[in-house]
Each structure stands twice: as C-alpha cells, then as structure tokens.
Amino acid sequence: MSVPARIDLHTHSTASDGTLGPAELVGAAAGAGLDVVALTDHDTTAGWAPAVAALPPGLTLIRGAELSCRWFGAEPAIPLHLLAYLFDPGSPELVAELARVRRAREERGERIVRLLQADGIPVSWSAILAGAAGGTVGRPHIAQALIRAGLVATTTEAFGPDWLGERYRLPKDDIDVFRAVALVRAAGGVPVFAHPRASRRGRIVPDELIVELAAAGLAGLEADHEDHSPAEREHVRRLAAELDLLVTGSSDFHGTHKTVRLGAHTTSPEAYERIVGLARGVTPVASG
C-alpha cells in the first residue's frame, strides 16, 4: 500500500480544550492537506465517534488521547503529558483512570473559579461548563471566560503569572507516569512522551527518567513541537536514537486557543508505521 506523507499526531477538539468540534477538526485536517491526523483530546475518547463519522475521503484517523501524568521522583512532582495511540477504549482500568482524572480536572476548575470570584472577578462556573459543551473542562475554558469578561486579550495573557499561570493556578490529580505507560500498554496502545523538553512550559524531567520509562514500555518521544527550541528537538532525537524510541512531530493543534496550524510539524511515515505495527487496541480508520 502507499505510505502516507503528511502525518500530524497531536490535535485537540472540543471534546477537551480545542475550539473545533471533532467533525470540524477532521475536515480542517483534510483541508490542510494532511494524510493522517491523530485526535488526542485530554483524558477522553469522547471525540472518537463523531470524528470517525465525519472522516473525509482520503484522510486516515488515528484515535488517541493525551494523558495528564505526573512524575513523583522530584519535589514537587513534575507534570507531564503522555500521548496514547490506538488503545482499546473499553479497557476497564484505563477507562476508570481517565474518568478519575476528568473529575479531578473539573473539580480543580471549579476551585479556580471560586478563587477568581472571591477576588471580585466576574466569571461564572455555569457559563464555563456551557462553553465546554460537554468536553473535558480545563484552564483554557476559564481563559475564554476571562477573555469574554474583557479582563485579558488572549489565551496567552490568561496563562500569564497574574492569572492562571501562577496567581490562580492549582494542582490537579494526575496519573503516575509509570502507571500510565502500563495502562496504555495493557490496553493495546502505544505511549509516546509529549513535548518532553519543552522548558518554556516549566520544569522538565531528567533524561534518566526517560531511560526508565523506555524500559517500562514507552515507545516514543515527540521531538518536533512548537514549544521545543531547535536545540531541544535535537536533544530529543539523540536520546530517542540511543534508546531505540520512535520520534514524532506534530502541531498540538487547539484551534484559536493557539496560533500553531494543523500540519505545522509532522511525523515521518516510518515512525507512523512503527506506531501502527505496535498497536493492539484499535486500528487506524481510513475513509475513501
């Protein structure tokens, strides 16, 4: 069969914190000239079915999720994200863990809103829930409420230190990263560490942890990402080569929440084929 050429393995829809619905997202992916797109909403598979139903001809969908994880080998623990591809969405342990994380995310969001309201900031939890439209509630939804209230101009400003980045930031209850890798593997999925060297996002984990995760079943590292500098991308590639991990590139597209475009960074066909070959949960969905 022919090997797809333009592959973006990290995108978000309104099922979590993107601004395009799953059906709109796959349409936009086709319009951007992609051959393969992965839907990787935060801690949920809710967007899978509508994305499959709307899949345009010529586009292949990789069903996945981005898991909210934490490494407890530092104090305080360091948050990180794990991209999980082609896992069985009915795996009981993974389903239960994702549901727990979504509840924790929503509870954190409500606590943040109460802090804002206590300082006289006019935001409404019910309006934020309505804006999420059933998707997993996250800080970007609160950022949109701050924008609507005229308090900040952009999502970037909302995530600054005066707002959600520091003053009104609260921790959430994530999954231990080793447990997450084990759960994804047990569900037949393929775990890839998202933007592992993105120091502009905050603290990053040491390479020694990635060595341990590789031994525990981690399959790959995301190198080409908007939040990686050229030096960080090269570091990730070298580490992946040393550990025989596959390397991905992707946009981490969120719609209007971020300026990055679909297909801004892509994955090689060889890495894509390794992911598909490793998967035992679900298969890619092709249309037309």
- Which pLDDT does position 118 carry in this prediction? 97
**pLDDT digits over 102-142, tens only?**
999 899 999 999 999 999 999 999 999 988 877 778 888 99
Q: CA-to-CA distance for 65 and 6, rounded, in angstroms?
A: 20
> Are 212 and 181 within 8 A, CB to CB?
no
pLDDT at 3: 54
Mean pLDDT in residue range 52-61? 97
Q: What is the pLDDT of residues 7-43, one digit of tens each?
A: 999 999 999 999 999 999 999 999 999 999 999 999 9
- How many helices and strands (H and E) does the chain possess? 10, 9
Give the pLDDT mean for 173-196: 98
What is residue 76's three-state secondary structure? Answer: coil
Position 176 scores a pLDDT of 98
pLDDT at 159 over 60: yes
Residue 157 reports pLDDT greater than 90 = yes
In angstroms, how far is CA 20 from the centroid of its own chain?
15
- Is the per-residue pLDDT at 2 higher than 80? no
Q: Specify the pLDDT at position 158.
A: 94
What average pLDDT does the chain have? 95
What residue has token string 């308090």?
A: 151
Residue 137 has a pLDDT of 82
What is the domain partition of the chain in residue ranges? Answer: 7-88+191-286
Mean pLDDT for 150-168 is 93
Residue 134 amino acid letter: G
| pTM of the predicted protein model | 0.91
Q: Which fold has domain 7-88+191-286?
A: TIM Barrel (3.20.20)
- Rounded percentage of the chain residues whose pLDDT exceeds 70: 98
d(CA 250, CA 137): 23
Terminal alpha carbon distance of the chain: 14
Q: What is the pLDDT of residue 225?
A: 98
Residue 1: pLDDT band (50, 70, 90) is very low
For residue 253, give the DSSP letter.
B
Distance between CA atoms of residues 106 and 24, nearest Å: 25
